[in-house]
Every structure is written in structure tokens, then in C-alpha cells.
Structure 1
Amino acid sequence: MAGLRVFVSSTCYDLSTIRSQLRTFILSQGHEPLMSDYSDILYDPRLHTHTSCVDEVASADVVVLIVGSRFGGRSVPEALSKLDFEKLDKESKSTESLKKKENLSVTQLEILKAVESGIPIFTFIDDGVWHDHALYEKNKGKPIINEIEFPAIEKSETASFIFEFINFLRHRTKGNSVFSFAKTTSRTKVAIY
């Protein structure tokens, strides 16, 4: 059996150790990782790198999404144009994150392209982010929500963008499983609950 092409989507700097470990695991299982930080993505010099990443997702067999403390870079209009937002609106019961397209990150666009293309997505959310998401959900209708600093989120102004995208994933009409994971000590290990 030929190996799967596994696209790994996440921010890179805060999750570099986990990404490295995941790459080693994917290779050890006989699969091909597609990771931007390892030059696995074919970048078209005529396009923005965000657009190349979104285009590459469509060639994957499966996508692994890791959500950590960072939002990442906001997507460029060229990459946004690669998505069918009318179709995506029908893919989840929670589409708040899609209403202001200019607030989507390149990582989020990669996942939206996978959703649009029907590619299976396995989502892993940092335990701290998962707990902060629960706090956000309990308070998002209250005026105080913009005053809360979520400890697991690097930049407070991006918290709602991250949490509403988690809602999009959790409330998809299918393929909506989400797992939390915990990082431990300097030798990062991933534990799936």
C-alpha cells in the first residue's frame, strides 16, 4: 500500500517541537508529510506563499491540524479567493469565523480548503487553549468578553478568531472530532485524551 500524503497545518514557531515529532512519526509509518517549514510545499514564485499552501492542501490525503497559542499570519486576498465560502457556510452550524474573511489566518484557510475538498481532518487543540475556549464560550455574550485575557493565547486580540474557528470545527456537519493534547516539560510529549 502506498503511503498517505499528510498535510500538517499549524503555526510553526510555537509548535516547532510538536511539528518535528509529528514529522518523525509520519515518516516512521511510511507516509509523506507535507509541511511548510520543511520545504515540502511546492511554492509557485508567481503566487503568494499563502496561496501555494492553500493549493497544496488539495493534494493531501489527510490533514492534521494542531491549534496552539498563536493565531499566525493573516491571509492575503489572493489566498482567500481560492475558497468557496458559500459552500463552506453549509459545512458547519457555527460560521461566525467566516463572516469577516479578512480575519482568517493562513492556517485557517488551509483547513477550510481541506473542508471544501472533503479531505479528512484530525484536529488537536492544546489543553490550555481548549480550557480557555470553554471560558470564552461561557462568556462570549457578555460585555466583559473583550476584557478577559486568556492565558493560553499569545495575543489577546486574536482570541476570538481562534475560538470561533474552533467552534466552526466542532460544529461541522460531519468530520467534527476534536482532541485536546498536553505538552509536558522540556521533552515535549503529546498525550491524547
Structure 2
Amino acid sequence: MPVGYKPTVFVSSTCFDLGQVRSDIKDLIQTFGLEPVLSEYNSFPVSPDTDTISNCLRNVREKADIFVLIIGGRYGFQTNNGKSITNLEYLEAKRKNIPIYVFVNTGIMNVLPIWKNNPDADFSSHVENKKVFEFVETVSHFKSNWVYKFDSASDIKSALLQQIPYLFMEALEARKKLKVNEVNLPSDLFPPKAARLVIEKPDGWEYLLFAFLCKEYLGRLEHKKFDLEYGISFNNVIEIEEPQEVFNWITAHNNEMLKLIRITTTLINDAAIKSLGEPGVEGDYRQIQHVCQRLLEVYEQIINWKLSFTTLEVNEDFEPILKVLSGFADDPLAKIDKFINRVHFEIPEALDNIALSGEQVKLDFTFSLESPDINGFNRELKKLGDLYFQNL
């Protein structure tokens, strides 16, 4: 965290019916020396190239350190999936695993049991949309949420005045744990969210850490993915004129790709599983980080391997086999991308479902790669052999 950085508090609610409440909470947040993030103020960071929903979710994802959710009688604008923006902001905060304080209007909390027993009744005097009850029911079931009732902004302010200082105490306790247990969490390897997972160890923290670090490290290679898309390489051009030397280059590169494929499958199917720990046994955060780092290093090596074809100049007779060979990188890159995106979304979702239902969830992340086009490679290899070496 940069020196001088102020922790931010994202306030999520329906703006229209709770405008004064939000204004009062903003003032309170500032009295703590924290930075309030509210969408109706000019200080709310906006990207002009994205829509309202994307901007809100991005600010939760990138800015929020603490999340305050206030639920009144309005559900708000519904997105295509039927969820409100407030609902999506809350889910984003849950995925981020930051402290969340939930405040629900007392009238709604009092009527909630009646709605559960008779959901088809008319509750228009209490809520604009019955989805408000569904939303409250959802947030109430998360064991990590403590839901507060409120009638006015003063109720929310009073609760936050009591609770936020506890966060500072938790931070001091975490600092003490780091020193006592000699936990080493370099910021370049363990961003704040990763460090929090290691220190606080919520249920399934090993899996959350693995999913987060894989996605985090993949994001750091975005520039390499663009290089691959546009065929950009700053390596020196390699000119090979002798056919036998070209064959040697092709053989070496084929062997290198097979090695990278073996490393990838070993990391995901063996090393990752061991790092997460056997059932009932805690995983090792250092091993988890090591596996994630090595996986993305292999990913980068595969990109560099494919880019090496862009700086190779040989006789045009070799172009067909080089095209087939360079395609050997496509399946590993696509499968690693897919794997990382799957664990990033499915692991937090599964843990949320477990918290809600208490039932076990089984996920299968077995990693397998398609066999390279060996037949096509061998056909082109034979053509070249007949062309250059048939008289030898």
C-alpha cells in the first residue's frame, strides 16, 4: 500500500430514497480520515468509455477497502440478469473479501418473516419490489455478514462509530501475527487482498488465494498477450540458410514446447493440489504462490516461444511446417487462460454457495491439453526431407 494512501469506504445503496442517509454517512467516513466513495459525487472515479454498471463494479473492485451496504425500500435498476446494481456491487465486494457492513431498514426486517411465509402477498406499502426481500434474505445468510437494523442515518452512524475502530484493532492484531509467526508477504508477490487471505485465513482461504494470485499474475502479462496478438517481438532477426540448421532449429523448438506442456500439466495437476493441502490439512501459502508464479512464467515462455517464429527468416519451403509448429502453442495458451478464469469465478462462487446452503460443492479442474498436430507436422517434415535429402 503506498505511503499516504487513505483506505476507502464504498457506500452502496439505492441513491434516490436514501440520499440524505448517504450524505450523512459520507461526512462520518471523512471524520475517520477515510476516503468515501459514493457514485453521486463528482469525486467518484468514472471511465467515460464504460457504462454505469461497469464503472460501479470497477470502483468496488479497484478502490474499495471497506464496503457499507444500506438497503431501503427500493431495489433499484435491474440488470439483464435480474440483479440490481447494488446487488452486483455487494457480490463484487464479497469476491474481494473486504469488510462488509450491512444495514437494512427496520420496517423491512420486521416484515421479512411475513414475506417468507406468504411471498405472494402484497407488500407494496413496504417495498417497491419484492426482490428487496430476496436480497435481504441473501445477505442475511452469509455467516460473515452482521446485519444491522436502522431507522435513520444516526443508527448507521452509531454502529459505524462502534465498529470501524475494531478494524484498526484487527489491523494491529494482524501486524502482530506477522511479526510473531514471521510471515513474509512481499507486496510484489502478495497484493493486499492476497496478504489478507493469508493472515485472516477465512474458510477455503487456500483456494481463494490460488484463484486470486493466478488471475492477478495473468493480468500482469496483458502486454505480452497484446504482443502475441499483433506479432510484436523486439528480439533480433535470426537468418538461417542451411537446411540442416533449419531442421535443427525446428527440432529444438518442438522439444522445448513439449517440455513446456509437461511443466504446465505437472504444475496444475500435481503441484497445485499438493500446495492446497490434503483434506483437513492446511495448505502452504508459499507453495501456492510459487505454483501460481511458475504457471504464469510458463505461460509467458509459451508466448515468447510462439513469438520467436516472427523473427525467423528461412527459405519459403519451410513456411508450411513452421506454421504447423507455431500452432502447437495455441491450445496450451487457450487452456491456461480458460483454467485461470474458471478458478477465478467458480471457486469464490462455490464457497459462497457452501456458506449459504452448508452443502458440499465439488469442482473438477483437471487439466488436459490436446495433442499437437503431429500428423500434419510429420507430413510437412517428410516433404522437406524428400525435397532436400532424397539424394543423400
The aligned length equals 154
* Paired position in structure 2 for 1:20: 23
* CA distance in structure 2 between the aligned counterparts of 1:31 and 1:166, rounded to whole angstroms: 27
Q: Choose between structure 1 and 2: higher strand proportion.
A: 1
* CA distance in structure 2 between the aligned counterparts of 1:72 and 1:40, rounded to whole angstroms: 22
* Paired position in structure 2 for 1:179: 148
* CA distance in structure 2 between the aligned counterparts of 1:2 and 1:112, rounded to whole angstroms: 25
* CA distance in structure 2 between the aligned counterparts of 1:120 and 1:51, rounded to whole angstroms: 22
Query: Could you tell me which amino acid in structure 2 is paired with residue 138 of structure 1?
Result: N
Structure 1 position 189, deviation (Å) = 3.3
Aligned counterpart in structure 1 of residue 32 of structure 2, from 29, 37, 43: 29
Question: Does the residue aligned with 1:46 lie in a helix, a strand or coil?
Answer: coil
Aligned counterpart in structure 1 of residue 133 of structure 2, from 140, 163, 168: 163
Structure 1 position 150, deviation (Å) = 4.2
Query: Could you tell me which amino acid in structure 1 is paired with residue 139 of structure 2?
Result: L
Query: Could you tell me which amino acid in structure 2 is paired with residue 189 of structure 1?
Result: S
Question: Does the residue aligned with 2:40 lie in a helix, a strand or coil?
Answer: helix
* Paired position in structure 2 for 1:7: 10
* Contact 1:41/1:52 (8 A) holds in 2: no
* Paired position in structure 2 for 1:105: 84
* Paired position in structure 2 for 1:62: 66
1:148 aligns with 2:122: yes
* CA distance in structure 2 between the aligned counterparts of 1:51 and 1:150, rounded to whole angstroms: 30
Structure 1 position 170, deviation (Å) = 1.2
* CA distance in structure 2 between the aligned counterparts of 1:130 and 1:65, rounded to whole angstroms: 15
* CA distance in structure 1 between the aligned counterparts of 2:97 and 2:43, rounded to whole angstroms: 22
Select the structure of larger CA radius of gyration: 2
* Contact 1:6/1:33 (8 A) holds in 2: yes
Please, which runs of 5 or more residues in structure 1 have no aligned partner? 78-101
* Paired position in structure 2 for 1:190: 155
> What are the within-5 Å matches in structure 2 for residues 58-137 of structure 1?
58=61, 59-75=63-79, 102-137=81-116
* CA distance in structure 1 between the aligned counterparts of 2:45 and 2:102, rounded to whole angstroms: 24
Question: Relative contact order, CA 8 A, sep 6+: which one is greater?
Answer: 1
Please, which runs of 5 or more residues in structure 2 have no aligned partner? 160-392
After TM superposition, which residue ranges in structure 1, 4 or more long, deviate above 3 angstroms?
A: none
Query: Could you tell me which amino acid in structure 1 is paired with residue 155 of structure 2?
Result: V
1:42 aligns with 2:11: no
Structure 1 position 4, deviation (Å) = 2.1
Question: Does the residue aligned with 2:10 lie in a helix, a strand or coil?
Answer: strand
Q: TM-score, normalised by structure 2?
A: 0.37
Query: Could you tell me which amino acid in structure 2 is paired with residue 69 of structure 1?
Result: G
* CA distance in structure 1 between the aligned counterparts of 2:112 and 2:6, rounded to whole angstroms: 35
CA-to-aligned-CA distance 1:55-94 (integer Å, 9 cap, x gap): 100121110000001111112x5xxxxxxxxxxxxxxxxx
* Contact 1:7/1:60 (8 A) holds in 2: yes
Structure 1 position 107, deviation (Å) = 0.7
Q: TM-score, normalised by structure 1?
A: 0.73
* CA distance in structure 1 between the aligned counterparts of 2:113 and 2:20, rounded to whole angstroms: 26
